[in-house]
Every structure is written in structure tokens, then in C-alpha cells.
Amino acid sequence: MKKLLLIITSLLLCFSLSSCSLLLFSAFNTYVPDGEYAEFSGVYPDEDEIYIDYEKSYFSEVTASDDGTVSYRCSLDICNSTDEDVTVSLLGDFEEEYDMGCITSMFLAGEDENKSTTFTLPANSESTYTVIFKGTLAGNKDGALKYDRSLPGIEIHLADDEN
């Protein structure tokens, strides 16, 4: 009887630990290029359905304008494996640049070259988009303009119907 109780207790403990790890992993479900995951809320719920293929995506260039705006241009390969066209918005995590005093906001919205902040992904498709993340320069202009950088962590959000 003690062995049976010990086995049942062990199984329950294993199940509880695996459930906790799954919950923790699902809370950190946004891929960051260095192979880790970052916590974001409002991210598209299933990263297997709509996702960025980081192996085919890259940082392209950074520019600063006279009005104090810095633009980070990226080429993103975005996959939509659902059976419906989906409109999304993108949010880049520029925590490093923010912490270094380069820009005034940690998160920057992505836009296309026509300044649209939404991207329509056709059903069952893989497309490459030029995405520009714009921010306001802060004191450390050189850090904001460094060219040897990786893609930021990027959140994919379902766009509101109003956009």
C-alpha cells in the first residue's frame, strides 16, 4: 500500500511539474533571435500558425532624420499557415537601445514603406515584407545608429478591425 501511495504521489508530482513548465513556456512564447523567448501579452495565440521565419529575415539598415526620428529597416519573412487572410500589426522590442539611452521608447510599432501599421497576410502563404520600426532619438545617437545588429524580438498582434 505504501508503494502504491508513493507511486501515485510521484505521478501527481511529475504531472504537476510538467503542467507548470508548460504554463511557464506558454507565457514566454515570443521568439527572440538569440534562441530565447520573451514575455509579451496580446501576441498572436499560436506561433505555429502565424510566425516570422528568422532564418530568412534580417536587419537591413538604420537611418536618422533631421527631425530626430530613427528608423530601423528590416526584411521579415512572415508565414501564415491558416486558411484565412489575416491582418496583423508588429511591435519590435528595442530594449537594448532604450536602456542605452538611444531612443525614447522600448517598443516600436512596425510600418511598411507607405506608413501603414498593418500587414495583410494571405491564407497559407509565406511572404517577405519590408518593415520599418520608427522611434525618437534620445541622447546616445551613436548607439542608436550602430549597423551591426540583429533583429529585435518581434510581437505579432491581430490587427483591430478598425485599422
Residue 143 has pLDDT above 50, yes or no: yes
Considering the chain, what is the average pLDDT of its residues? Answer: 76
Domain boundaries defined on the chain = 42-158
54 CB-near residues (< 8 Å, 6+ apart):
31, 33, 151
Strand boundaries in the chain, DSSP class E: 30-32, 36-38, 50-52, 58-64, 69-80, 86-93, 107-111, 119-121, 125-136, 153-158
Higher-confidence residue of 161 and 31: namely 161
Nearest alpha-carbon partner for 66 in 154, 137, 146: 137
Residue 32 has pLDDT above 60, yes or no: no
The average pLDDT across 6-19 equals 50
Residue 42 has pLDDT above 50, yes or no: no
The average pLDDT across 68-93 equals 93
Residue 44 has pLDDT above 60, yes or no: no
CATH number of 42-158: 2.60.40
Q: How many CB atoms lie within 10 A of CB 29?
A: 15
Q: Are strands 125-136 and 107-111 parallel, antiparallel or unpaired?
A: antiparallel
CA–CA distances in Å: residue 50 to residues 33, 38, 76, 152, 162: 16, 17, 13, 17, 21
Q: What is the pLDDT of residue 17?
A: 44
Q: What is the pLDDT of residue 100?
A: 85
List, for residues 62-73, the tens digit of each pLDDT value. Answer: 888 888 899 999
| pLDDT interval class at 141 (50, 70, 90) | confident
